[in-house]
A and B are shown apart, each in its own frame.
Chain A
């Protein structure tokens, strides 16, 4: 089987992290976002992944080279020279996706994190016998999204309603599709939307079916959702393979600590924390609801909550970093500094406190 991952552009919503690496390579729970998807695809027998990308394909391919051999999966890029929307890239990668097998292929939105129940999706797809399957997920506020209205018993999609003002349903498109090759015949090579142009036509013919995604789902394309997504992911990890989570008197709730990271005495870590490889967390540090990327040093008595600490940054003694503070790569927060929602671009030194959320260029 094959899969296409819609990587897209600059990942501006996840800046300043995406100023240093392409978005799919930003670690989520100590693993590049895209690897979560590739590993799950490999697990259900996908042997070739095409990345639809329009920015820095070399960086991506260089990075993924090792994983190709390790995972035994072929990874290629299909580069757009102009933005083609959500459907155009499928037409562009048509030759890579179609082979003699006639099997359906996966299409994933790269921002989405979930338990990736691909096995169930394949079964669902085969069972309904239609042309395309999409995953839907229930949300609290459907009016922010495109709502998918389905026939309750079969899952057959009746219509799409974009940002409905009145309640028509609470299931939204989760950005995970399984499509027959025939779908490609419906897509022209031009900027076009799969949600707005392609799916409604298939639905009109009664050949589009929606499966409710079991487990959690989160679009982690922006910092706040990234932090929420980590909580959901670690909750799910607790149920599935809790041995991966840290234990000890200094741990509260779900915490992921890379084996090469060091934690000092008298710390209190958690809940919902990921500490990356090579990190040094000195004594008396408090971490909660945060991600600490590779090579970071958190000095004594610092306190971090609801924040992302970018690669190789340092947080000084008695510093307080909170409320969606995002430190880019190689940022240094001096001793005793307070950051309330500071968004700091790479290679900066923070010498004075940030009282209100603001961007530090």
Chain B
């Protein structure tokens, strides 16, 4: 920002001598190269697996460890030297992000802008769509992050590695178990040079236990690469008018020319061409597709706070404050009774009230929730303004016991959440005194006056 303002000032008043000296200055200090970050946030038609929580809030703004999901990659970006801008790209309406974007810009003293796509363009297409804005500051490097991954975002380390490799792009990768690898983009990297040799998205057979973390760094040449794919498509589309046989053969026939996927369309074809490299993280990494995963990821971020911002973690031993055990976040406006016991892995959002003798274990308590005396909440997400009665219990019991798997096969919609052992209450749900809610999902504005187990309450 600082450099930019000097530039514009100079362009009006400067004579050529000063101009030259300044620009030499910029070229010499390679550490002064500008970097921008683009975070793909998706849109309302995505993230349906995040219901019922995404019925109320764009998934990227759902709080993990007390901060909106997208806040975690943003604050990681903040730590990159010479970061000029952060762009959020998605197809949610502007107003949904307006408040957050302005407050985070002020807080971090970094301009954060939300750029709305008129429709999904794929992650590469979305990036390309806004290339003029992204290149406005003539950045030397562009970070591209998916919002729905949870990791420590070792971005500065990636940048160092990327410069050393000298390619067009570097992908953050992680080693996972062979069984789980197939849910992600699997890739093969040269063990010595770290060059990306092969890339395949969600393969049916095992290719590699290295997977794509959805965090990338590119040089501006990436735009040329995306443009190439796009124009090839256009050519093919033109050809299609000539040969309908070709059109039927083409696997990409239904894709519009401006829809460019990063994985299949860019990473796969460029693998093995000394343009893409990998940087392996040894830290945690998860994909946040479901509410159940969000609880796990909230815990991972809370654990990370121990190192990055310990002041955010609550402490107390039950004398003046409540008893806190493990990693707990409590919003300053929330009230927790001194006889309550909280943690591990609990985050309590704004204006929540936690009554006397309440026990919270592994849960996310959203804004304005009231939990009354002696209630127990464990392995659950309690939606905005919900109310939990005295001696009631909201819980999930992750089970390998008999009877449980029958339930999972019956409830197709909820099985993913159930598998992860999380009970979810939507917004303004009431749980009356002494009621037990076990392994269930309750949609907004319902009141439960009898106990439920393994149910989805519509």
Contacts and interface: CB of A to CB of B under 8 A. Distances in A.
Contact of A336 (B357, B378, B401): B378
Contacts of A301: 357, 359, 374, 376, 391
Given A303-B391, A336-B378, A355 B404 contact: yes
B403 A356 contact: yes
B141 interface: no
Contact of A305 (B359, B404, B434): B434
A174 B331 CA distance: 63
Nearest to A284: B357
Contacts of B373: 266, 284
B397 interface: yes
A336 B434 contact: no
A322 B390 CA distance: 16
B356 A266 contact: yes
A170 B374 CA distance: 45
B395 interface: yes
A177 interface: no
B436 A320 contact: yes
Given A305-B434, A320-B376, A286 B391 contact: yes
Contacts of A353: 395, 397
B79 to A, nearest CB: 38
A338 B399 CA distance: 13
B438 interface: yes
Contacts of A300: 357
B401 to A, nearest CB: 7
Contact of A286 (B341, B403, B434, B453): B434
Interface of B is mostly: loop
Interface string A255-273: 0000000000010100000
A301 B340 CA distance: 10
B420 interface: no
Interface in B394-413: 395, 397, 399, 401-404
A328 B256 CA distance: 69
Interface in B46-79: none
Contact of B376 (A268, A288, A318): A318
A355 B399 contact: yes
B359 A317 contact: yes
Contacts of A303: 374, 391, 393, 434
A284 B378 CA distance: 18
Contacts of A336: 359, 361, 376, 378
Contacts of A285: 374
24 contacts: A266-B374, A268-B391, A284-B373, A284-B374, A286-B374, A286-B390, A286-B434, A300-B357, A301-B391, A303-B374, A303-B391, A303-B434, A318-B359, A320-B376, A320-B393, A320-B436, A322-B436, A336-B359, A338-B436, A340-B436, A353-B397, A355-B397, A355-B403, A356-B401
Given A303-B391, A305-B434, A336-B361, 16 more contacts: A266-B357, A266-B373, A268-B390, A284-B339, A284-B357, A301-B374, A317-B359, A318-B341, A318-B359, A320-B376, A320-B393, A338-B438, A340-B438, A353-B397, A355-B401, A355-B453
